[in-house]
Chain A
Amino acid sequence: MKVESRNRFEENRFPSRVLWVWERPEDLGFVDPQQFAVAFLAQTLTLKNDDVVFSPRRQLLKVSPEVKLIAVTRIESQKTTGTPANLSEAQRRKLVDLVLKTLDLKNVSAVQIDFDAVVSERDFYRSLLTDLRQKLPGNIPLSMTALASFCVGDRWLDDLPVDEAVPMIFRMGADERKIKTFLKNGNDFREPLCRRSYGISVDGPIAMNFERRQYIFNVGAWTERDVQQK
């Protein structure tokens, strides 16, 4: 019988709603720390040949010191013809170092990786997460975003050393209709790691009855009104 993996978000009493904050100036002084946590884009790391190109956040973020913060690292692999990413050991080490550095940012108490890994990148991603989990302090939650299709299809997320895989139930592209029908028919995500939280967007919410942590994406800058409506 499989033992359920740790959920450090629960252990650390993270609020049940999390605002995703992307690369734009944001003043979130109005956010109630009891109600919301904030997952902000801290950096984008681009895999290019054997390099990791570091692009930190360039936009101002204001948030109360009481709000629990999740530093999000977006990973992209450059797919320009002629310069595919090598997915090397050196790149993995550098990614791990750079993700760990986000813990130095004030009040960050969890990290999240956002990497839409294609099939050929999954082994690399798995070893990255394994390495990262080993180097993170034991109480720091490690989250990953997941295309909704990851959570209903094959079981490659199974046994990943993460506290949650957040299925993004918005802007699903080619999978949109399939996933919506799947959920509308009362089905749940097959992957247990995907049953701890889910992500929606303010401009295209899907009515969900899950008693799970909810990540909310906003196409624009957050306003007090947006947050009150959540």
Chain B
Amino acid sequence: MRSLHQTLAITLAALLLLNSTTSVRACGPYFTEPIFVFENSPDLPFQEFTNGKIGIVLPTFGRKTLVIAYRYLNRGSFTSDKQTELTAALKGKAPEDDGTAVVKAWVKVRKEVLGDDQKLPEIYTERQHGQGYDFFPNCTKNAFEVATETLKDRVTRYGAEDKNVRTWLATQDTVFQNCSRGAQVPNELGAESAAWLRMDREYQIAAAHFYSLNFDEARARFEKIAADADSPWQEVAAYLVARTLVRQASLAGTEELQRAGYERAETYLQTLLGAGDDKSREVVAEVGPIDARG
């Protein structure tokens, strides 16, 4: 009987000891905390926000969210279809990054080709507006995405050690120097150069003019590329003609010039839309900013 008691006591003590051991977590501790305000996005559901109930707009919201709020604060609105699309867009990625991720991605792929010993060029994406005190985003996210993808593609096709690829990369560095200041335009290439490099160079020259704010020259060059059936940039060049018109209008010195510029851009975009090709559908997205000016 005594032995039974001893056995029970030992078993009970063992169970108590085992139960008192807390489970181990890999990370932590975690605490449940109340969230009173979303700092990076509007309140849920997003549909209410895109419908115009924008509530209190915080500067920490993502770019898409702020654009929607800006439209409503300027007494604008969105059609029902656009509201649905915007809600989907907000759900896609919120909050948005601050734009540095694409520049980092470009710097990374550039470094993979050139190695660590190359001094990295300083890239600022904003450019001073004339001689004033305000800046505007000159080289946008898409510019770095396209450059990154193009470099990867050229490296895959011709190899990282290929001298033309190196030339391409050095030229792209020159193009991006114009993002924040200056007007550095790469030289044209002669017929002795590889055809792919020549066509890429034409596009890089047009882009350099665009970022240097030489819009008339940029537009003429994009138009020429848009007419070149052999260029891999043909399709996108037509769209960039529109981008050039929009940018030129947005930076015009007077409201009158701006209005005239936007009208010209709108006419061009409508023509592109009428053409009905694949790229035109993408251009539809660009009509938004022109609507937004009113």
Across the interface, which residues of A come within 8 angstroms of B133, CB to CB? 40, 42, 57, 60-61, 105-106
Q: Are A59 and B100 in contact (CB under 8 A)?
A: no
Across the interface, which residues of B come within 8 angstroms of A57, CB to CB? 133-135
Nearest-Cβ distance from residue B258 to partner chain A, whole angstroms: 13
Across the interface, which residues of A come within 8 angstroms of B278, CB to CB? none
Residue of A nearest to B126 (CB): A56
Could you give, for residues 122-136 of chain B, a 1 whenever the CB lies within 8 Å of some chain A CB and a 0 otherwise? 001010110111111
Could you give, for residues 86-123 of chain A, a 1 whenever the CB lies within 8 Å of some chain B CB and a 0 otherwise? 00000000000000000001100000000000000000
A106 to B130, CA, bound (A): 11
Residue of A nearest to B129 (CB): A60
Are A60 and B126 CB-contacts (below 8 A) given A53-B98, A53-B100? no
A202 to B194, CA, bound (A): 65
Say yes or no for A58: interface residue by CB 8 A criterion: yes
A58 to B134, CA, bound (A): 5
Q: Are B100 and A56 in contact (CB under 8 A)?
A: no
* Interface residue SS majority, chain B: loop
Nearest-Cβ distance from residue B62 to partner chain A, whole angstroms: 14
Are A106 and B100 CB-contacts (below 8 A) given A54-B126, A56-B126, A58-B136? no
Could you give, for residues 111-153 of chain B, a 1 whenever the CB lies within 8 Å of some chain A CB and a 0 otherwise? 0000000000000101011011111100000000000000000
Residue of B nearest to A48 (CB): B98
Say yes or no for A51: interface residue by CB 8 A criterion: yes
List B residues 29-54 near A (Cβ within 8 Å).
none
Residue of A nearest to B59 (CB): A23
Q: Are B131 and A59 in contact (CB under 8 A)?
A: no
Q: Are A61 and B136 in contact (CB under 8 A)?
A: no
A59 to B128, CA, bound (A): 11
Q: Which of A51, A53, A56, A58 has the most CB of B within 10 A?
A: A56
Partner of B131, one of A42, A51, A53, A106: A106
A40 to B134, CA, bound (A): 11
Q: Which of B129, B132, B133 has the most CB of A within 10 A?
A: B133
Could you give, for residues 60-93 of chain A, a 1 whenever the CB lies within 8 Å of some chain B CB and a 0 otherwise? 1100000000000000000000000000000000
Q: Are B134 and A59 in contact (CB under 8 A)?
A: yes
Across the interface, which residues of A come within 8 angstroms of B128, CB to CB? 56, 105
A48 to B97, CA, bound (A): 12
A56 to B131, CA, bound (A): 14
Across the interface, which residues of B come within 8 angstroms of A54, CB to CB? 124, 126
Nearest-Cβ distance from residue B33 to partner chain A, whole angstroms: 10
Q: Which of B128, B129, B135, B136 has the most CB of A within 10 A?
A: B135
A59 to B98, CA, bound (A): 19
Across the interface, which residues of A come within 8 angstroms of B100, CB to CB? 51, 53
Residue of B nearest to A60 (CB): B134
Could you give, for residues 267-290 of chain B, a 1 whenever the CB lies within 8 Å of some chain A CB and a 0 otherwise? 000000000000000000000000
Q: Are B135 and A58 in contact (CB under 8 A)?
A: yes
Across the interface, which residues of A come within 8 angstroms of B131, CB to CB? 106
Residue of A nearest to B133 (CB): A61
A51 to B128, CA, bound (A): 22
Across the interface, which residues of B come within 8 angstroms of A40, CB to CB? 133
Residue of B nearest to A108 (CB): B133
Across the interface, which residues of A come within 8 angstroms of B129, CB to CB? 60
Nearest-Cβ distance from residue A136 to partner chain B, whole angstroms: 19
Across the interface, which residues of B come within 8 angstroms of A42, CB to CB? 133
Across the interface, which residues of A come within 8 angstroms of B124, CB to CB? 54
List A residues 17-63 near B (Cβ within 8 Å).
40, 42, 46, 48, 51, 53-54, 56-61
Nearest-Cβ distance from residue A174 to partner chain B, whole angstroms: 19
Q: Are B126 and A61 in contact (CB under 8 A)?
A: no
A56 to B128, CA, bound (A): 9
Across the interface, which residues of A come within 8 angstroms of B136, CB to CB? 58
Q: Are B132 and A56 in contact (CB under 8 A)?
A: no
A106 to B129, CA, bound (A): 12
Partner of B132, one of A48, A51, A53, A60: A60
- Given A48-B98, A105-B133, 9 other A-B residues pairs in contact with their CB atoms under 8 A: A42-B133, A54-B124, A56-B128, A56-B135, A57-B133, A57-B135, A60-B129, A60-B132, A106-B132
- Counting from the closest, the 8 A-B pairs by CB-CB distance are A56-B135, A61-B133, A57-B134, A56-B126, A53-B98, A60-B134, A59-B134, A106-B131
- Please give the residue numbers on chain B whose beta carbons come within 8 Å of chain A beta carbons, in ascending order: 98, 100, 124, 126, 128-129, 131-136
- Chosen A-B contacts, 14 in total, with CB atoms closer than 8 Å, are A42-B133, A53-B100, A54-B124, A56-B134, A56-B135, A57-B133, A57-B135, A58-B135, A60-B132, A60-B134, A61-B133, A61-B134, A105-B133, A106-B133
